[in-house]
Structure 1
Amino acid sequence: MTLQHISTTRRAFLAGSGLVIGFALTSRMPAHAAVTGVQAGGDDGLAMLNTFVKIGNDDTVTVLSKHIEFGQGPFTGLATLVAEELDADWGQMRAVHSPADDKVYANLAFGVQGTGGSSSIANSYEQFRKAGATARAMLVAAAADEWKVPAGEIIVQKGRIRHSATGKESGFGAFASKAAAIAPPAEVSLKDPEKFVLIGQELPKLDTVSKTNGVAIFTLDVVPDNLLVAVVAHPDHFGATVKSFDDSQARKVTGVIDVKQMTQGVAVYAEHTYAALKGRSRLKVDWDLSDAETRSSEELAADYANTAKENGLSAASKGDVDRAFAGEGLETLAAEVVFPFLAHAPMEPLDAVFIKAPDGSLDVYTGAQFPGMDKTVAAKAVGLDPSKVRINTQITGGSFGRRAQFGSPYMQEAAAVFAATDQSRPVKHMWTREDDIRGGYYRPMYLHRMRGAIDKNGQIVAWDQTIVGQSIMGKADLDETSVEGASNLPYNVANLRVMSHNVKLAVPPLWWRSVGHTHTGFAVETFLDELLQKVGKDPVEGRLALLTEDPRYAGVLRRAAEIANWGAKPAAGRQRGVAVVKSFGTYVGQVAEISVGSDGAPRVHKVWCAVDCGVAINPNVVKAQMEGGIGYGLGAVLFDAVTLGKGGAIVQSNFHDYRSIRINEMPDVEVSVITSAAAPTGVGEPGVPPVGPAVANAWRRLTGNPVRSLPIVSASTS
């Protein structure tokens, strides 16, 4: 079965289900079909009651998600918020991506439409509840007018509208159109949390079935007729540019249509993916390395170490660190930890489809994490006013920060590739796994230099930490994303100094799942654990004694220790480690139990996790995100590094040398969600930071070897 057939089959299935999604298309459909359907509020048989809520004649409620769904659960979470206040039945709820509009669908934390920073639920909690409550009020008003009864006598429950005195009853659909014509109330009252029916319940995710039966439409599944596939040859060195190229052999490949030089490299256009890739493999490109990064990772680490000796930017300063270190009778500890570049490696690499409509407007189908930014970039590349460009956001196979790029450089390349054609044919621009692993926009390489002092009473009296790495934000002054988790050290230490150095490289940096906490959480939690061990203190009790400012830290630490039965002795040959990290407003404590595997590397058997994320909209999703974060973080700290070899060439290329954790390596995970009335915070990222230091702490206590560089496996087996 061809991709065209797969696309057609999935479209037929969706049409038969009564839910108009409008994801896939062929040239026989209008190019604007996807956005005049559910996304944009066109003639789809659904009544639009407000910006986020549409109701169909069949009583279905469709929530327009301003956040991209790439597995972290906003479709389910946002629909839950609406359904709660609407008093809908979960079975009638649906969710789709909203149109791209930085004003209407702005992330309230960013000011533009975008998904990131574990903010989807946090910034939408009240907004989407109000959307549901407003829609409910409009439905009630419509029913009251139709039935000629007081609105205050009408009850809404599980998707049914009732008036007890007259016995009248209806679903939402019968009043949807009438309700949509009613002016929405200026103010609505929201439920007391004690009366929640859906929020806090483990409801099934809305997108699970379609993703498991193959019906879900990703960008790869968008296959219009007459499609061209384009891939771009990129250099092996960051900062290199095309000096010259020979495409004579590439053009001989059957199916190759054209070859063009782009700013980013050399693009090959073909009738299908195989021809495009084969043609690209036959290109001969001479790269100009004049402005390229030519240092190896080892040379960069040495340069970082020298930089750490210099005075840097002040990130935190408390007490008098130098005087504290000069005290008598102190025990001191020093450590230097090196963190490698990390690729995001989502299962679905970057891709986009461009289709010019007969009226000259443009449809772009892609996994857009910042759709407004992508829209602006695409419009500029093809010479259109942004109002003539429609970004059709697709469900996406992961991101972990990869699609949230300043200035949308991927879209710049993809749109330029399309703009270089006569635009008469749709173009699918694709990155392969190798393109993605070798494409940059990595979690930067960092070096932490740390010193600690302990007095004769076993108290940590001084903490001195220097962090060297690229500024993800491209700042010359202090970049908070480089020091978060260290500059706001949660432990009570009287004398604290944290300094930062921003280094300039040709390697493009980007935030990676949990951003600064990916390295600060590891450095802080392993160094603290080592200090506690040095004076014979229990890792849990020693931390609790220092966590005096915020009881939620202590809460997750105690819960993780409790469910792990921390006081019990591990089985022979095993050891446990603990870590607690707050990121994106969410507190996570983890305990890991490990042994030495047959290959001499850590074998992680179980991870116990406690999470406090405020109100848990769906505990099942929270647990799933903790489990996924643990797996993702564990794979990175055990195995992953993107390295620059001699001369600065990228070494890794695919999952064989930049691999994910395998199913047989995934530990058993037990998650406890702490009940809280605090405002909800994110869960997509906070599960990642604690697992690395928990494992490293267990490894040090088991083997006596502290982890001074990542990944652990290469460090332990070198």
Structure 2
Amino acid sequence: MSQGLLDAQNGMPQRKPQHTPSGQFSRRTFLKLGAAAGGGLLLGISFSAGAQGDSQTRKSIVGGDGNEAPQDGVFEPNAFVQIDRSGKVTLIVPKVEMGQGVYTSIPMLIAEELEVPLDSVTIDHAPPNAQLFSDPLLGGQLTGGSTSIRFAWQPMREAGAAARTVLIQAAAQQWQVDPASCHARAGEVLHDASGRRIAYGQLVDAAAHLPVPQKVALKDPKDFTLVGKPTRRLDSPEKVDGSALFGLDVRLPGMVYAAIVNCPVFGGTLAKVDDTRALQVPGVTQIVKIDNAVAVIGAHTWAAKRGAAALVVEWNEGAGASVSMQQIVADLASASQREGAVARKDGDVQQGFGTAKTRIDAVYQQPFLAHATMEPINCTVHVQPDGCEIWVGTQVPTRAVDAAVAVTGLKPEQITLHNHLLGGGFGRRLEVDAITQALKIGKQLNVPVKVFYTREEDIQHDMYRPYYYDRISAGLDANGKPVAWQHRISGSSIMARFAPPAFQHGVDPDAVEVAADLPYDLPNQLIEYVREEPHAVPTAFWRGVGPTRGTFVVESFVDELAVAAKTDPVTYRRNLLGKSPRALGVLDVATRAANWGPPMPKGQGRGVSVMHAFGSFLSMVADVTVDDGEVRVNRVVCAVDCGMAVNPETIEAQIQGGIVFGITAALWGEITIERGRVTQTNFTDYRIMRIDQMPVIEVHMVKSTEAPGGIGEPGTSAVIPAVANAIYAATGKRLRHLPVGRQLVNASASAQSA
């Protein structure tokens, strides 16, 4: 371990990660770490879906036939539990904490089955290792898609139960009693008949040599004492007192700072730079040039930032300088006229339209969006001839290592990644563009360097949620029920770039998500996708990904159909949800809690949405006031059925945060491009909801015995159409082009001028 890492970790709270270099993390390495801590029991957790229920996999958890320590090559677990002789439980987990609460909810799963107090569990980041830590739901070691609890639910509980069973067996052998006469509680094994008790820490050496049970009994949910109970987050104290370490907090001996100045045009490159004035700024030590940017190196951030402002740079703008929103939208509109790749086809849509009494056609558009995370993009690197270290907060640790290999030419085992807490991800930190850039800069220095983006650079050099252009049509029978449904989605394919194997037969599965799997009873439907890339504009996942864009279009259009059928929007949806009882259930809970039905005062409106995505069901009701083109969201009522709730506190917080994120996007979120440049620069023109605009939010959880669904992104996805539908109820204006706030302001201004 380098001196730099030692200094960076000095004074860390106990729950801070102690990282193992990528490529060096093996079963033997971990055993050495356990021995250094005083010896103990090691449990590997297999997250492979196919491994669940496999007796051989379970048997290998503790090691071979139970009489030997685990050996390399026996199996490849994705996370480990360590119980040392003091009884401390350590979980190395391959999901990163970026505000969603997994560093509390995942330990809750272990603590529940292992029968230990939650405050006795310590969490460490997993090192990058795709073989050990791949999430089968995502096909790699990454955090996203609201999968953390979904993928951990079964194997984490099984690992805790297996550990508990082995510890009980070890105690029973020592006491020479039947294991069935013993039970575990609060980190101890108890034998009630004799009154004996023994702490886990005193049993781990013996337990490590016992065979693993081929089957473990998991708790009945009715016996849960921790899972399902509101639980305070373990990481809150250190975030409140400032001791939590994010990527931006890294400080290393001899470290310098690099303020980045990127080419303002997509695809442009550096031509020449006059750095005379920049080098005269006190504290500026060096100017580093790379293909598409200039970095000003300083002794501190202020020197680097002032130096960057003093640069005089000429760019080779290239073809990207001709790109404009007008061209992008025109291309998408043209693409939407083509037949697309079929994502779903049920029945005969044309026959359905032929028999329909009424036909409704609509075009919906959604803009580019930036992530605007609380923590701007940053990455600290130290590139040396024989090794490279990276300090960053990333959702994709293995891809970060791959980037380092590509830039430095080093071997994977020579790369050390120190992953930190993330000050917001939302999909932005699924990308490694900034890490690659930092490595290119670091190669030209012989000291550690922290590369940071200003907020302006962060917004103008993001990778954006794609601009989507949707054509959607429905045919209604005499009763207003859909008998034909056609939906064509045109836009960039993130999957074709990010995960090419997932892009099959011309369909991007993310772009059509929700749209291709509706909860409604639609006898004839055709869902198509047309790939149209926006001329050099980089696109990426954005909180809620496909379901955010899909839910807005579908739920807004269903509202249109209800109006055409002269039916209340809730009643209309209820009549189409007979085959989806969970969707119907959340709709009923939300609308009852929101007091749906009574008329609203003039200038106010109420809108509803229903969504099924990420394994969860949500319904939202939004109340809004529209005054002189300005929209205020007064109240949002959400009903959520996400299956078994691990930590209700986290679920409520995630729904609240998602709602704020979604309202912001619905009312104001928009990135526009002129002459190949992003026109927005900061929160002055990329507007974010302010605290005094926060609506009242009510979250109602529907009890369920289903396996957990995802919760980090559904709130964002479901609230946008609820707000748009509420605006229609208040104004009679159907706004099909986000952000709705800009359209209303423009409409109001036009009316006043007329």
**TM-score, scaled relative to structure 1:** 0.91
How far apart in 2 are the matches of 1:42 and 1:506? 52
Q: C-alpha deviations, 1:2-28, integer Å up to 9, x for none?
A: xxxxx98995372xxxx263579xxxx
> For 1:21, which of 16, 21, 26 is the aligned residue?
16
Amino acid at match of 1:607: V
> What is aligned with 1:412?
436
Asked if 1 retains the 8 angstrom alpha-carbon contact of 2:266 and 2:536, the reply is yes
**Would you say 1:658 and 2:680 are equivalent positions?**
no
* Structure 1 residue 294, shift from structure 2 partner: 2.4
> What is aligned with 1:4?
none
Asked if 2 retains the 8 angstrom alpha-carbon contact of 1:95 and 1:206, the reply is no
**Would you say 1:352 and 2:345 are equivalent positions?**
no
* Structure 1 residue 241, shift from structure 2 partner: 1.5
Asked if 2 retains the 8 angstrom alpha-carbon contact of 1:340 and 1:642, the reply is yes
Amino acid at match of 1:140: I
Asked if 2 retains the 8 angstrom alpha-carbon contact of 1:49 and 1:135, the reply is no
SS at match of 1:223: coil
1:41–1:574 distance in 2 versus 1, CA, 3 Å: farther
Amino acid at match of 1:383: G
> For 2:139, which of 111, 118, 126 is the aligned residue?
111
Asked if 2 retains the 8 angstrom alpha-carbon contact of 1:244 and 1:287, the reply is yes
1:349–1:181 distance in 2 versus 1, CA, 3 Å: farther
How far apart in 2 are the matches of 1:679 and 1:255? 56
SS at match of 2:545: coil
How far apart in 2 are the matches of 1:372 and 1:160? 38
> What is aligned with 1:538?
568
> What is aligned with 1:153?
181
How far apart in 2 are the matches of 1:364 and 1:119? 26
Q: C-alpha deviations, 1:37-65, integer Å up to 9, x for none?
A: 99975734574522422234543322222
Q: C-alpha deviations, 1:573-611, integer Å up to 9, x for none?
A: 4221000111111111000111114x5322111111011
**Would you say 1:262 and 2:290 are equivalent positions?**
yes
SS at match of 1:588: strand
Amino acid at match of 2:586: V
User: After the TM superposition, which of the residue ranges 377-386 and 176-185 deviates more from structure 2?
Assistant: 176-185
User: After the TM superposition, which of the residue ranges 162-171 and 461-470 deviates more from structure 2?
Assistant: 162-171
SS at match of 2:673: coil
Percent identity between the two aligned chains: 36
Q: C-alpha deviations, 1:336-393, integer Å up to 9, x for none?
A: 2211100111101222222469x94433221121111111221332232211222222
User: After the TM superposition, which of the residue ranges 50-59 and 433-442 deviates more from structure 2?
Assistant: 50-59
Matches within 5 A, 1:139-288: 139-180=167-208, 184-288=212-316
User: After the TM superposition, which of the residue ranges 63-72 and 232-241 deviates more from structure 2?
Assistant: 232-241
Asked if 2 retains the 8 angstrom alpha-carbon contact of 1:22 and 1:37, the reply is no
Q: C-alpha deviations, 1:187-236, integer Å up to 9, x for none?
A: 43322223222111111111111111212111122201110112321122
Asked if 2 retains the 8 angstrom alpha-carbon contact of 1:20 and 1:37, the reply is no
**Would you say 1:427 and 2:456 are equivalent positions?**
no
**Would you say 1:68 and 2:67 are equivalent positions?**
no
**Would you say 1:393 and 2:422 are equivalent positions?**
no
> What is aligned with 1:708?
736
Report the number of matched residues. 694
Asked if 1 retains the 8 angstrom alpha-carbon contact of 2:371 and 2:462, the reply is no
How far apart in 2 are the matches of 1:72 and 1:614? 17
How far apart in 1 are the matches of 2:532 and 2:361? 23
1:37–1:8 distance in 2 versus 1, CA, 3 Å: farther
* Structure 1 residue 716, shift from structure 2 partner: 0.7
* Structure 1 residue 148, shift from structure 2 partner: 4.5
1:245–1:157 distance in 2 versus 1, CA, 3 Å: same
* Structure 1 residue 184, shift from structure 2 partner: 4.4
SS at match of 1:689: helix
> For 2:520, which of 491, 494, 500 is the aligned residue?
491
How far apart in 2 are the matches of 1:694 and 1:261? 48
1:649–1:362 distance in 2 versus 1, CA, 3 Å: closer
SS at match of 2:610: strand
Matches within 5 A, 1:387-536: 387-405=413-431, 408-422=432-446, 425-474=447-496, 477-504=506-533, 505-536=535-566
**Would you say 1:50 and 2:69 are equivalent positions?**
no
* Structure 1 residue 452, shift from structure 2 partner: 2.5
1:150–1:490 distance in 2 versus 1, CA, 3 Å: closer
Amino acid at match of 1:350: I
SS at match of 2:398: helix
1:509–1:317 distance in 2 versus 1, CA, 3 Å: same
How far apart in 1 are the matches of 2:323 and 2:485? 32
How far apart in 1 are the matches of 2:85 and 2:245? 25
SS at match of 1:291: helix
Q: C-alpha deviations, 1:231-274, integer Å up to 9, x for none?
A: 32112221111222222222222222222221331222221111
> What is aligned with 1:29?
none
How far apart in 2 are the matches of 1:72 and 1:100? 20
* Structure 1 residue 460, shift from structure 2 partner: 2.1
> What is aligned with 1:620?
649
Amino acid at match of 1:398: G
How far apart in 1 are the matches of 2:174 and 2:352? 77
How far apart in 2 are the matches of 1:593 and 1:496? 32
1:22–1:450 distance in 2 versus 1, CA, 3 Å: closer
Amino acid at match of 1:527: F
* Structure 1 residue 468, shift from structure 2 partner: 1.5
Asked if 2 retains the 8 angstrom alpha-carbon contact of 1:37 and 1:43, the reply is no
* Structure 1 residue 111, shift from structure 2 partner: 3.5
Amino acid at match of 2:367: P
**Would you say 1:138 and 2:166 are equivalent positions?**
yes
Amino acid at match of 1:486: A
Asked if 2 retains the 8 angstrom alpha-carbon contact of 1:84 and 1:199, the reply is yes
How far apart in 1 are the matches of 2:445 and 2:254? 14
> What is aligned with 1:300?
328
> For 1:335, which of 362, 367, 380 is the aligned residue?
362
SS at match of 1:232: strand
SS at match of 2:664: helix
Asked if 2 retains the 8 angstrom alpha-carbon contact of 1:237 and 1:289, the reply is yes
Amino acid at match of 2:596: W
* Structure 1 residue 286, shift from structure 2 partner: 1.7
Q: How big is the alpha-carbon RMSD for the aligned residues of Structure 1 and Structure 2?
A: 2.8
Asked if 2 retains the 8 angstrom alpha-carbon contact of 1:293 and 1:507, the reply is no
- Unaligned 5+ runs, structure 1: 1-6, 25-31
- Unaligned 5+ runs, structure 2: 1-5, 20-24, 45-79, 497-502, 747-754
> What is aligned with 2:57?
none
Asked if 2 retains the 8 angstrom alpha-carbon contact of 1:454 and 1:460, the reply is yes
Matches within 5 A, 1:90-109: 90-109=118-137
1:123–1:9 distance in 2 versus 1, CA, 3 Å: closer
Asked if 2 retains the 8 angstrom alpha-carbon contact of 1:49 and 1:179, the reply is no
Amino acid at match of 1:49: L
Asked if 2 retains the 8 angstrom alpha-carbon contact of 1:67 and 1:74, the reply is yes
User: After the TM superposition, which of the residue ranges 476-485 and 359-368 deviates more from structure 2?
Assistant: 359-368
Asked if 1 retains the 8 angstrom alpha-carbon contact of 2:18 and 2:124, the reply is no
Asked if 2 retains the 8 angstrom alpha-carbon contact of 1:492 and 1:547, the reply is yes
SS at match of 1:708: coil
Q: C-alpha deviations, 1:515-569, integer Å up to 9, x for none?
A: 1122111111111101101221111110111123322111111111121121334
Asked if 1 retains the 8 angstrom alpha-carbon contact of 2:559 and 2:569, the reply is yes
* Structure 1 residue 128, shift from structure 2 partner: 0.9
**TM-score, scaled relative to structure 2:** 0.87
* Structure 1 residue 479, shift from structure 2 partner: 0.9
Asked if 2 retains the 8 angstrom alpha-carbon contact of 1:344 and 1:442, the reply is yes
